[in-house]
Structure 1
Amino acid sequence: MMQNPQILAALQERLDGLNGSPSGYMESLPKVVKRRVNALKNLQVKCAHIEAKFYEEVHELERKYAALYQPLFDKRSDIVKAAYEPTDEECEWKADEEEELTVSKQDEMKEKAKLEEEKKDEEKEDPKGIPEFWLTVFKNVDLLSDMLQEHDEPILKHLQDIKVKFSDPGQPMSFTLEFHFEANDFFTNTMLTKTYKMRSEPDENDPFSFDGPEIMCCTGCTIDWTKGKNVTLKTIKKKQKHKGRGTVRTVTKTVPNDSFFNFFTPPEVPENGELDEDSEAVLAADFEIGHFIRERIVPRAVLYFTGEAIEDDDDDEGEEEADEENDPDYDPKVSSPLHTHTHTHTHTQPVPL
């Protein structure tokens, strides 16, 4: 019946006459039908509350499995900072390309590689661990490299590990990113932290918008900079002319400077929850970055170091773009959120990650 062009045309004509909006169609419904639709909405609200409980349990599972992952991440950190030297067995890795080679060809390549490696070892001192591991990860990821300034790089060479810590059982949902540094000339902290507080409950005023946990706010930490090493500030000199005497003097002024380390001093959300447009944009980007570090960077750091994870991300984006192009309802003017159930929220309007 729905393939009958006359019926479809009549239906379309009726819909066009309703101002082109779903609300117009709802207004046209009989009162008794509207009453039943309200009952369905109440059921939908109950579904949202059940979904919220589901995500709370997912958070508990994440906490449980984080403890299982941690020994592996600790060993990764030990290898990166040269606290542990992996055995020959631990270092064996068969790349996809090698699987297609014959045994003799493999042996030939291994022997050649061994000779080249020995030659390199003679030419220069053997580096410790994996130098600039996390800096390379950051530079390989657009979301993070956009934050980096040239003056940040010497500092990030001292970054030895990034850890994710979840809130304790029974406590409000949150996670903390821990950035562990070796001793350096820039600041005295051995660890910098960023904590994100979340909630998993529908908004009473808009329960149907619930689509998973929201990041509500974040707090950074104080960086104890060595004198003259604070890259988040810069000193500028301005000339001022005295109105009366006409003399000119040079005034020195300290102003904010672009830096990755501004990440640890996010804008504060006022008690009334109202933010200016710039602060809201900064927080939305901040929440996305924090979530990305937690979900992608920490669990798969080596693959971002080698670039393999970036290729996978590009493939995923390519597939999504192809799906969008093939979708007749796709509107390129409407941005699509990343595939994640964690959303950002700044009391004004949630920003999906």
Structure 2
Amino acid sequence: MSFILEFHFEPNEYFTNEVLTKTYRMRSEPDDSDPFSFDGPEIMGCTGCQIDWKKGKNVTLKTIKKKQKHKGRGTVRTVTKTVSNDSFFNFFAPPEVPDSGDLDDDAEAILAADFEIGHFLRERIIPRSVLYFTGEAIEDDDDDYDEEGEEADEEGEEEGDEENDPDYDSKKDQNPAECKQQ
């Protein structure tokens, strides 16, 4: 059992690929020794694709230049170091799963988060892609926020009703002056 996500791109100044793909492999069978522990499909691994970056355009890497001073001689030298940079395109370079299938906790968490993103794209974003393109899906998201905002406004109105209360004393709401130290 598997699924493939394909991202199609117009020609651009960053890479030459027209399509970037990511394949997820899953197992959807219960363990023979403990069939009652089956929680649904299990991630067996995922495979990204090689992005053919144009020279100097790889957004997943950044170059850092540091000046270092030699303690003994006092000379200054510049050290150039290339480090990883957070990017959407890191999605296509998933963590490697060893042949033994044993992952440490960090790698397993990264793989699970990667699968969550892929599953979310497959189940929620892609079926509604036309709605996102036309802006209708974004309007639906705004409606969700408006409902929450309206609830907050209604609560605020209840709190502000004291001013209309004939027994309301505004002097009680004012903070008393703090004592000054002598």
Q: TM-score, normalization: structure 2?
A: 0.70
Distance in 1 between the 2:138 and 2:76 partners? Answer: 57
Distance in 2 between the 1:278 and 1:238 partners? Answer: 30
Distance in 1 between the 2:130 and 2:58 partners? Answer: 30
- The within-5 A match list for 1:274-293 is 274-293=102-121
CA deviation map 1:264-310 (0-9, x unaligned): 00110112333333322221111011111112222221223424378
Is the strand fraction higher in 1 or 2? Answer: 2
Residue equivalent to 1:322: none
Distance in 2 between the 1:223 and 1:310 partners? Answer: 34
Do the aligned partners of 1:182 and 1:190 also contact (CA within 8 Å) in 2?
A: yes
Q: 1:194 aligns with which of 22, 30, 39?
A: 22
CA deviation map 1:45-104 (0-9, x unaligned): xxxxxxxxxxxxxxxxxxxxxxxxxxxxxxxxxxxxxxxxxxxxxxxxxxxxxxxxxxxx
CA deviation map 1:114-154 (0-9, x unaligned): xxxxxxxxxxxxxxxxxxxxxxxxxxxxxxxxxxxxxxxxx
Tell me the C-alpha RMSD between the 2 structures.
Answer: 2.4
Q: CA deviation at 1:200?
A: 1.4
CA distance change for structure 1 residues 246 and 190 in 2, over 3 Å: closer, same or farther? same
> Residue type matched to 2:137 in 1?
E
> Residue type matched to 2:93 in 1?
T
Distance in 2 between the 1:280 and 1:307 partners? Answer: 36
Distance in 2 between the 1:257 and 1:295 partners? Answer: 28
> Residue type matched to 2:14 in 1?
F
Match of 2:29, SS state, is coil
Distance in 1 between the 2:108 and 2:45 partners? Answer: 11
Runs of 4+ in structure 1 off by over 4 angstroms are none
Distance in 1 between the 2:41 and 2:72 partners? Answer: 61
Unaligned 5+ runs, structure 2: 148-182
Q: Number of paired residues? A: 144
> Residue type matched to 1:293 in 2?
L
Distance in 2 between the 1:295 and 1:259 partners? Answer: 22
- The within-5 A match list for 1:1-12 is none
CA distance change for structure 1 residues 311 and 211 in 2, over 3 Å: closer, same or farther? farther
Do the aligned partners of 1:304 and 1:310 also contact (CA within 8 Å) in 2?
A: no
Task: Using the TM superposition, name which of 185-194 and 210-219 deviates more.
Answer: 210-219
Unaligned 5+ runs, structure 1: 1-172, 319-353
Is the helix fraction higher in 1 or 2? Answer: 1
Distance in 2 between the 1:182 and 1:307 partners? Answer: 24
Distance in 1 between the 2:8 and 2:81 partners? Answer: 32
CA distance change for structure 1 residues 218 and 240 in 2, over 3 Å: closer, same or farther? same
Match of 1:299, SS state, is helix
Matched, 1:268 2:108: no
> Residue type matched to 1:176 in 2?
I
Q: TM-score, normalization: structure 1?
A: 0.38
Match of 1:300, SS state, is helix
Match of 1:184, SS state, is coil
Distance in 2 between the 1:205 and 1:240 partners? Answer: 59
Do the aligned partners of 2:128 and 2:137 also contact (CA within 8 Å) in 1?
A: no
